[in-house]
Amino acid sequence: MEQYSRITKIIGDDNLKKLKSAKVLIVGLGGVGGNALEIIARSGISNIAIADFDVFEESNLNRQILCLKNSITKKKVEVAKERILAINPNCNLTIIDDKINEEVLNKYKINVNYIIDACDDVKAKVSLIKYAINNNMKIISCCGTGNRLNPESLKVSNIWETDYDPLARKLRYELRKNAINYKLPVVISKEKPSIKTKGFVGSMAMVPNAAGILLASYVINDILNSN
């Protein structure tokens, strides 16, 4: 298929089949999740679930790849759906227009190989981790990307080996409280956040979008390396 001809030049036909048959859930369609979705959809993965309950706001235009002027006030999942199907009309797509928690996950009976957690809600993150563990699914999460300017400081680590990240600190606390010792792979930044306005998180396009690419790259390469 011409659409994937450049991909098969690198990974071959059999590995493209692996990607096409893989099932991935992406939670959070903002600056991080939107770019993760873009890479996942363009890489041949054809079974995708997306989850977000929010709408686009004008302040999203500075960094979120899914957000255009005509996206303002529209549901993120609906804009994402239109974009995915414009890339791959044959994509098997599941839409979750809801706030993620254990009840919602059980309601939709999500069955995937991989979960990409790109949300910023700690309770939702814990629910996703529990769901993944209980259902033998793989998961990778993104920690904080706000108040940072250097995408070169991003790396993949695990949740128990992070610094300078308030979101990671809160997540570790909740995991301990729930007696979860899982070595969760995470995309983190080694850059100390620059706080300019108390109580307000600033963000530019570089770091969240690069984090989304790292999340997608980790998942794609893990799928390719699986038996």
Domain layout of the chain by residue ranges: 2-225
Residue 199 CB neighbours (<10 A): 5
- At residue 50, the pLDDT reads 98
Listed as ranges, residues in the chain with pLDDT below 70 are none
- At residue 161, the pLDDT reads 92
- At residue 73, the pLDDT reads 98
- At residue 199, the pLDDT reads 74
- At residue 78, the pLDDT reads 98
- At residue 195, the pLDDT reads 73
pLDDT in tens, 175-216: 999 999 999 999 999 998 887 777 788 999 999 999 999 999
Phi-psi region of 53 (alpha: psi -120 to 50; beta: other; left: phi over 0): alpha
- Helices 31-42, 206-225: axis angle to 10 degrees equals 40
- At residue 118, the pLDDT reads 98
Q: What are phi and psi of 69, to 5 degrees?
A: -55, -40
Residues ≥6 apart with Cβ < 8 Å to 214: 154, 155, 156, 187
| 186 token code pair | 């995470």
- At residue 167, the pLDDT reads 93
- Topology adopted by domain 2-225: Rossmann fold (3.40.50)
- At residue 127, the pLDDT reads 98
With beta carbons less than 8 A apart as the criterion, state whether 207 and 192 touch: no
